Structure formats: structure tokens, C-alpha cells
Structure 1
Amino acid sequence: MAHEFPIRVYYEDTDLAGIVYYANYLKFIERGRSEWVRAMGVDQVAMKRELGLVFAVRRVEADYLRPAKFDDELIVTTDLVAETGARIVMEQAVMRGAEKLFTATVTLVCLTETGAAARLPAEVRRKLAPPLH
């Protein structure tokens, strides 16, 4: 099931044409990912403090489909696609009602404080696993 995060477009999000500036979609989906991680019960501040690990975006593949405009009410959806011991892949979308405006496939990895790649913590992998029925 997709995590949903509401966002409203403010004047500061738009460009001279009055539409959302392309780079701001990346900010929107970052907020959606942060809330998705929080909703799973992962405390990123504690993860950094206790394990010395942080999430980092490794790859983003984005498609801009339709423009959002000032005062639009949007929903950022986040769906887990895959998880390995070293990365998380998710699909994200920015929606205006039923209309899809933007999509992205995002790959996250864990890094140490020195920037070295690290395995995902076991607790995070457990929280990402689908519930057993």
C-alpha cells in the first residue's frame, strides 16, 4: 500500500511561467520519502547517532508528465519496489487528484559518516518486510 503525503504548491515553488519549477518536484518527493520512513518507525536521527548511518539517494530516474500550478493540492505517493541488504528502491509519484504529474524511481543506500557504503540495518530491513499472513 502506498504512503501518501499531502503538499500544497506555494508561490515560492513556481517559476516565471507560474508552474512548479522542475527541481522542486525532487524536494516534494524527498519530503514524501522522509515521512514514509518516519511512518515505518525508523528514527533517522537515532540511526545516525547510534549506528553512524544515514540514507543517501544513489539514483533518481524522473519523468515530468504535467505541470502543477500555484495553490494546487498535491499528494506524494511512495511505494516500496525492492529492498536488498544494501539498498531500497521505491516508486514515487506526485498526483493532483487522479492526475499523475510526476513519477520517479529512487534508489537509496546507507552511508557511514565518512561516506562509505554500508548494509541497511537489520531493524530497517525488518520494518520494510511485508507482514506475514
Structure 2
Amino acid sequence: MSAPFIHRLRVYYEDTDMAGIVYYANYLRFIERGRSDWVREIGMDQNAMREEHGIVFAVRRVEADYLAPAKLDDVLVVETVLSEIKGARFIMDQRVLRGDTVLFTAKVVIVVMTLQGRPTKLPATIRALLEK
């Protein structure tokens, strides 16, 4: 397993619920940002992928565990690691941490789809970017 890609963020008022803790669905937004920045970091342009190859990524499945709450003004780290690539899908393991405390973990299955919504294999050039 490679070193995790790190995305940092701060919890804002808009991220919290009436109790002042991060609303559960916002963790999905946080990990999406982590994956999106990871894709940019490895040199992939999702707009070009759509325009040149006619494919897009879509989340197929998320397994999530909420372990501890994040609160207003916390500084969080989203760790993202590619754990598996197979044909038309790949799996990302992600964690949200505050310092050394793991607040949230997720296993995200991403599928590669045509613009018509059909699964398709990753082109070799894109697979190479994911594997580097």
C-alpha cells in the first residue's frame, strides 16, 4: 500500500448540525474532496477524460463508519489510498482524522462508465496514472 494522499480542511458552521458537530452526510463531501484532489495530484484531468475517452467515474458503493464527532473549527485531514484496481472499478480507502484521532473511515467503490451510463474498462493510460 502506498502512502496516503493528504487533503486538509477546516470545519465551518455550514458543515455542522444544531449540536455543533459535523452533519453525518458532510463526511461524504469531505472524502469526495480528498478523492478529487488525489486525482488532480496524480495528473489526471477528469474533464479531458470525459471529452477524450468518453468516460467518467461514479461512486457505486460506500461503506462508512462514524467513529467520533468533528466539531466547528476543527482542522481535519482526509487520507486517501487506492487499495485495488479491477477492470471497470477501483477501490479507495479513506479516513478523516483530527490529529491522531480517526473520526470516520470509508471504503469507496468507484466504477468507470461511458457517457451512456454503461460500465467500461479503464483505458491503459488512465490505469497507468492510477497505479503510479
Smaller-chain TM-score bracket: over 0.9
SS at match of 1:31: helix
Q: Which residue of 2 is the match for residue 117 of structure 1?
A: 119
- Structure 2: gaps spanning 5 or more residues: none
Q: Aligned residue pairs: how many?
A: 130
Relative to the length of structure 2, the TM-score reads 0.96
CA distance in 1, matches of 2:112, 2:27: 23
Q: Which residue of 2 is the match for residue 83 of structure 1?
A: 85
State, as a whole percentage, how many aligned pairs show the same letter.
59
CA distance in 2, matches of 1:44, 1:121: 13
Q: Which residue of 1 is the match for residue 129 of structure 2?
A: 127
Q: Describe the superposition over 1:20-66 as per-residue Cα deviations: whole angstroms up to 9, x where unpaired.
A: 00000000000000001111111000000111110000110000000
CA distance in 2, matches of 1:122, 1:82: 15
Q: Which residue of 2 is the match for residue 101 of structure 1?
A: 103
- Structure 1: gaps spanning 5 or more residues: none
Structure-to-structure mapping, 1:16-27, within 5 angstroms? 16-27=18-29
4+ residue stretches of structure 1 with deviation over 3 A? none
Instruction: Quote how far apart the aligned CAs of 1:128 are.
Output: 2.1
Instruction: Quote how far apart the aligned CAs of 1:100 are.
Output: 0.2
* Backbone CA RMSD of aligned residues: 0.8
CA distance in 2, matches of 1:129, 1:36: 12
Instruction: Quote how far apart the aligned CAs of 1:117 are.
Output: 0.8
Q: Which residue of 1 is the match for residue 32 of structure 2?
A: 30
CA distance in 2, matches of 1:46, 1:128: 15
